[in-house]
Structure 1
Amino acid sequence: MSPRTVVRPVVAAAVADRLLRHTAPGVPQVRPTLDWAGPVGRELPDERAVQAACGLMHIHGRATGGPAPLAVDYASVVAGVLAAQGATAAGIGRARGLDLREVRTSVAQGALLAVGQYLAAATAREADGPPSTAEPEPCAGGLATLETADGARVELETLDPSAWREFWARLGVPPALAGRGWLPFQQRFATAVCPLPGELRAAARRRTLPDLRAAAYDTGVSLLTLGADPAPAVRPEPWRLTPAPAVRPGHRPPAPAVTPVPRRRTSGSAHPAPDVPVPPLPLAGLRVVESTRRVQGPLAGHVLGMLGAEVIRIEPPGGDPMRWLAPLAGDTSARFTALNAGKRVVEADLTTARGRETVRALAAEADAFVHNWAPGKAARLGLDACDLLSDRPALVYAWASGFGDTLGGRPPLGTDYLAQVHSGLAAAVRPADEPPAPSLMTLTDVLGGLVCAQGVLAALAHRTRTGRGGRVDSSLVSAAALIPRPAHRAHWTALDRPVRTADGHLYLGPKARAHPEAVHRLLGRAEGSALTTDEWTHRLVEAGLTATPVHTDLAALADDPAFKAAVAPPDPLIGHARPHAPWEFA
């Protein structure tokens, strides 16, 4: 019997069970089915095999010179959230009259969703043309983490180029030299590398931690110190649901039951089969309005859209500036369309009364409103939960923040890498023989968007029983706390890292890692780097061992026949490869 049918993704199942307990009561029971590979045509026996096959090792290792595993079960946690989403959405669909009894997903589908933006950038192509705009794979360029004269390691964050230049000026760096570091610093969210000029790193090493803290405080730059403790600094619940007050007479009720007209699978479904009818999506007929930016908020809306909701996106006049960040797919940023394709756009200037009234009018006709504004902005705009729920008590109002209320009223910028530091994840993702540092893959942005979407689904499920909406608060830190990690950082052997071959890398399977003597006997008969990946795989199979080729070219992943049922190739409408929706409903 294959490992795929024997080995259960225990971490993914535990995360799903926890989130479904947090969601209950009020949801008809639809139990999710989880496995490792799903529609991917490969034997993937564990977390590390999934990371190798689906590009996570490649993206995480870009900044440090080669593919490297995440030392946490990240793909499994993503899959657990997806399983809970599918089960909750199916329960909502059942409450609305749909005959939905089963939902399936997999750890591989979770991993592919997590690398969706990077996959889009690697496969972007001009409209009706070749992939001439595709982004080349970045070269190793280092992490953004800085070291100080007294041995501290720190992470900076700012979205303001003036604050960036002024910070470095306080450290004696000329403005032109500081300016050379700005673009790679900002682009690290997209490229997963940060090739800062060496002069900036040297300037930081000449100053003490108090010096850097003072410079950051004076210039408005956020700074956090990295610790070696992988345990979460706080353990908040994944989200907090505050039900709306009792519904008053005359309010518009929640969306009616949907007519269960079967639809046919399209290119966006998990297993394309054009002639096979499938049930309607569970959120069909519901409307989500979002005012979001970057990754966390847009991904929440993207997930709800994949589950069938109509998503209306509010953007500033002229459109979200992220639309034009290279590489382009057609005439729009590939990374932007990876998170926002299919959404209807309404432009509104929130600094004006008219723009704010547009938001209120849209929210009054919506089932959910999602934003990831900075702390305090909603209240200043008069668009907080109490403002919108007064007009629409059945509304689910969701705020996806960086730190929630874990750092008081003046938290640092709520971005991915600072959330990794504060949550202990920056220490947990690397083994004990490497210095703590955040992964430059946007781990918490992705997981935070998924947790926000699950919070919305939990509130919609609650609404099916009570008729009341409510407020959902989630954060990057609450999402990071879902990731299990040991009390102390992991200790790895050489076999816990990818093995270099003549034409790539292999990641050894669990049996090979558990029996290093068998691997060393094979290594003794042939130099590892002298054999190709296929040759090494064949030798391992002969010895009763397995290994997974490490995908280090995302464009090639999109063309790999093993991923045909899990990844949609570029088409004229989208212009880049993208993962299929990660659920199969029946």
Structure 2
Amino acid sequence: MSRLLEGCSLYGCVEQVPAGFAALAASLRYQATALGLEHRPSQGDPLAHGLEFTFHHPDLSPIDGMIHGWPDGSAHGVTEHTVQAACGLMSVHGRASGKAQGLGLDYVSTLSASLALQGALAAALGQLRGGRFAQVSSSLGAAGVLGIGQYLAGATAADEAERLLPGATCSKNRPPFVSADGVYFELETLDAEPWRRFWAAVGIDAEQAGQGWKAFLLRYAKAVAPMPAVFRQTLARLSMARIRALCALNGMAVCPLRSLAERAADEDLPGQLKQGPWAFDCGAADGRELPPLRAGELPLSGLTVIESCRRIQGPLAGHLLAMLGAEVVRIELPGGDPLRAMPPCVDGVSVRFDALNRLKQVRELDIKSAAGREELYERVRDADVFLHNWAPGKAAELALDRADLVRINPGLVYAYAGGWGHDRSGEPLPGTDFVVQAWSGVGAQIGQASGTPGGSLFTVLDVMGGVVAAQGVTAALVHRALSGQAVRVDSSLLGAANVLCAPSLQDADVIPDSLLKGVYPTQSGLLAIDCQTPAQLEQLSQVLAVDAQTSPQRLDALLDSALSSQTAATWEQLLDAAAIPACVVVEDLSQLAQDSRLKPCLSLNAYTSVNAHWSFR
């Protein structure tokens, strides 16, 4: 199978990078290779405080990509661990996991690699349309903030702001559950009726089932699921076989948590890892030329995206394309998306919904009706991209599959952002974030790092899935501009999980673990410390006057005692001066905008919103 962007290459100092950028460099190489870019090491000196690369194609001028640590261009104290602390990701994950803590995945680094490549591809598309795009800049910190954008909106709404701090809900009375024979598992349904029937079958009354349903739904919006303890206690008395049987009888889905080792044994995994988180299918050339850019326009300006998506993954993909200048027309059912009304609201619109959709036009259409489909066909006729995340088989049922739409617009980029991917449409499990976390091994990996039974209630894969979906669409637009060929691009939550865990699953490019990494209490506030080199560990020993060579348990006690003498903010300054990566853990998201390093990527309006990730020159 040929790669989409063969003929393109990536030069870069990604073998010798600052310690905090090693995971980012590894993911950048992996994703670039999956797209078909040939990696060529640069002969120049690596950046002292970041990572740089250059995108090449024979028809283009070189495009320089620069990834800084923080949005303000600095890189002090930057590692995966410290960025998760400073950007609020530890706080959101900690709402239901018991305390502020890291995900145990190189999450921000992987997000940042995807976004940086998307920015370079967008710049290439801009050049092909006559624009002048020689450089694109991004940062790890901006990627981290983008990841928690909807939670930040909820925490900073002008009215009814949510104050959900780490440990806000019990880390035991939440999914995943455990059976009597010790199997941890996720339950899933998108409908209240199977939920009610299942819990009635296990002995939970209707009132309690209703309370549990409301708590269960909060996972996607608030990263908590404060369920009554009786749910956990009841399931813990039943065998896994009995739970499976009751789920089958009542229309519930159940998915035991699998480890990364179990995932690595899947026969189809090597092929999935090789192709990356996308599947591309190129069609015939249609000869359509892209409209030229005017001076000062963004690289996707003048292009039209028709988006019909719900929840997070698909809307985030459309949001990123809008941030690059595309005109995104969002198709909603008559009456609008129900999530528009979810509080907290500003001017009658949910701030969480607005955080992912504020840059789009909206057209309400009943696409199940002949008249609605006819209007959609007319809109697709002149569009560049059609993006949806409907359930498998729904597009064909509505006569809105790729084959239907390319008859109208042969040059269309047709994009599907699903749960399991186009090739796994027969997967019996629903393709939702928490089920895919459980099945892919991501949930077990997070649980192991967090000391919890399973994954995060932060929408880890929905966010990553939205980013890789937008990245795939941008790559498809570049291919179309170079070859004239239309492209179908499939991405999925499973593909997002694969790219997150690729180093571990391939047993290659595994990043050496930190010598000391943790979150520590201080006189006031929590401090994340991440010593990645012997020199940093030695410096820490001297600054805190502790013996870093003692046992881990003894060292934690020594650090707790030493750090109790100053505030987290003071220690961050002192350790930064000693070149030791450390950051205050942001527990209250409403305080993010006070961090001068993050201000360039935030706007303060009716809620705090996240600005476009990229800066072009």
Q: TM-score range by the shorter chain?
A: 0.7 to 0.9
**Partners of 1:396 and 1:456 within 8 A in 2:** yes
State the AA in 1 paired with 2:127: R
Name the CA distance, whole Å, in 2 between partners of 1:520 and 1:64.
32
- Residue 584 (structure 2) pairs with residue 549 (structure 1): yes
Cα distance in structure 1, aligned partners of 2:306 and 2:425: 28
Greater shift, 402-411 or 461-470, is seen at: 402-411
Aligned-pair CA distance for 1:466 = 2.2
- Whole-Å separation in 2 of the counterparts to 1:406 and 1:383: 18
- Give, in angstroms, the shift of residue 555 of structure 1: 0.5
Say yes or no: does 1:119 pair with 2:152: yes
User: What pairs up with 1:273-292 in 2 under 5 angstroms?
Assistant: 280-292=297-309
Does residue 400 of structure 2 align to residue 383 of structure 1? yes
Alpha-carbon distance in structure 2 between the residues aligned to 1:544 and 1:290:
46
Q: Which shifted more, 412-421 or 312-321? A: 412-421
CA distance in 1, matches of 2:511, 2:206: 41
Please list the CA deviations of residues 190-235 of structure 1 after superposition, one character each: whole Å capped at 9, or x if unmatched. 1111111000111100101011111111122111101233655535
1:61 is matched with which residue? 94
Shift of 1:34: 1.5
Out of 193, 200, 214, the residue aligned to residue 169 of structure 1 is 200
CA distance in 2, matches of 1:39, 1:537: 18
1:268 is matched with none
1:212 and 1:96, CA in 2 relative to 1: closer, same or farther beyond 3 A? same
Matches within 5 A, 1:213-362: 213-229=244-260, 231=263, 233=266, 234=269, 236=272, 237=275, 238-247=277-286, 253-259=288-294, 261-262=295-296, 280-362=297-379
Are 2:226 and 1:195 equivalent residues in the alignment?
Answer: yes
1:409 alignment partner in structure 2: 426
CA distance in 2, matches of 1:154, 1:214: 14
User: RMSD of aligned C-alpha atoms?
Assistant: 2.7
1:36 touches 1:45 (CA, 8 Å); kept in 2?
A: yes
Distance in structure 2 (CA, Å) of the matches to 1:541 and 1:388:
55
User: 2:461 matched to which residue of 1?
Assistant: 444
Aligned counterpart, 2:13: none
TM-score by length of 1: 0.88
Give the CA deviation at 1:254. 3.9
Question: Could you tell me how far 1:161 is from its partner in structure 2?
Answer: 0.8
Q: 2:600 aligns with which of 559, 565, 586?
A: 565
Deviations 1:272-301 (A, max 9, x none): xxxxxxxx2111111101000000000110
Spell out, residue by residue over 1:384-435, the C-alpha distance to the aligned partner (whole angstroms, 9 max, x if none). 0000011101100000000115655143111111111121111222436835
Of 484, 487, 506 in structure 2, the residue corresponding to residue 467 of structure 1 is: 484
**8 Å CA contact 1:316, 1:349 repeated in 2:** yes
Query: How far apart in 1 are the matches of 2:82 and 2:491?
Result: 30
Moved more, 423-432 or 80-89: 423-432
For 1:123-138, what aligned pairs fall within 5 Å after superposition?
A: 123-125=156-158, 132-137=159-164
1:47 to 2:80 alignment: yes
Q: Does 1:141 align with 2:166?
A: no
Match of 1:32 among 65, 77, 80: 65
Q: Secondary structure at the match of 2:454?
A: coil
Residues 560-569 or 65-74, more deviating? 560-569
Provide Cα deviations, 1:329-374, integer angstroms capped at 9, x if missing partner: 2321011011000211111012211111122111111000000000
More moved, 198-207 vs 530-539: 530-539
Q: Secondary structure of 2:343's match?
A: coil
| Gaps in structure 1 of 5+ consecutive residues | 126-131, 263-279
Match of 1:521 among 546, 559, 565: 546
Residue 186 of structure 1 corresponds to 217
**3-state DSSP of counterpart to 1:561:** coil
Query: Alignment length, in residue pairs?
Result: 551
Task: State which of 96, 110, 115 in structure 2 corresponds to 1:82.
Answer: 115
Helix, strand or coil: the match of 1:391? coil
Tell me what 2:520 maps to: 499
Give me the whole-angstrom Cα distance separating, in 2, the residues matched to 1:460 and 1:23: 13
CA deviations 1:301-353 (Å, max 9, x no partner) are: 00000001000000000111110101112321011011000211111012211
TM-superposition CA deviations, 1:455-512 (whole Å, max 9, x none): 1111111111222212111100011111145469999999533101232100113259
Name the counterpart of 1:266: none
Helix, strand or coil for the counterpart of 2:67? strand
Q: Secondary structure at the match of 1:182?
A: helix
Identical counterparts, % of pairs: 38
Q: 1:327 to 1:40 in 2, by over 3 A?
A: farther
Distance 2:492 2:140 in 1: 23
Q: Which runs of 5+ in 2 are unaligned?
A: 1-16, 38-56, 548-557
User: What is the CA-CA distance between 1:55 and the residue it aligns to?
Assistant: 0.7
Moved more, 326-335 or 134-143: 134-143
- Residue in structure 2 matched with residue 271 of structure 1 by the alignment: none
Aligned twin of 2:26: 14
Residue 447 of structure 1 and its aligned partner are, at CA, apart by 0.8
Output the amino acid matched with 1:395.
L
Q: Counterpart amino acid of 1:297?
A: G
**DSSP 3-state at the match of 2:292:** coil
Cα 1:491–1:420, aligned 2, differ >3 Å: closer, same or farther? farther
Counterparts of 1:161 and 1:240, CA distance in 2: 34
Gap change, CA 1:60 and 1:492, over 3 Å in 2: farther
- Whether contact under 8 Å (2:260, 2:440) holds in the other structure is no
How big is the shift at 1:156? 0.8
Cα pair 1:141 1:193 within 8 Å, conserved: no
Worse overlay, 146-155 or 516-525? 516-525
Q: 1:384 to 1:134 in 2, by over 3 A?
A: same
Structure 2: how far apart are the matches of 1:428 and 1:31? 35
Whichever residue aligns with residue 215 of structure 2, its letter is P
Where 1:429 maps in the other structure, the secondary structure is helix
Q: TM-score, normalised by structure 2?
A: 0.84
Match of 1:245, SS state, is strand
Specify which of 157, 178, 184 is matched with residue 153 of structure 1: 184
Question: 2:260 aligns to what SS in structure 1?
Answer: coil
Counterparts of 2:504 and 2:186, CA distance in 1: 23
Query: Aligned partners of 1:583 and 1:61: how far apart in 2?
Result: 28
Distance 1:79 1:55, change over 3 A: same
State the secondary structure of the residue aligned to 1:431. Answer: helix
Alpha-carbon separation, structure 1, partners of 2:197 and 2:383: 44
Contact 2:515 2:537 in 1 (8 A): no
- Distance in 2, matches of 1:157 and 1:215, equals 13
Per the alignment, do residues 140 and 531 of structure 1 end up closer, same or farther by CA in structure 2, a change over 3 Å counting?
A: farther
**2:336 & 2:445 partners in 1: Cα distance?**
38
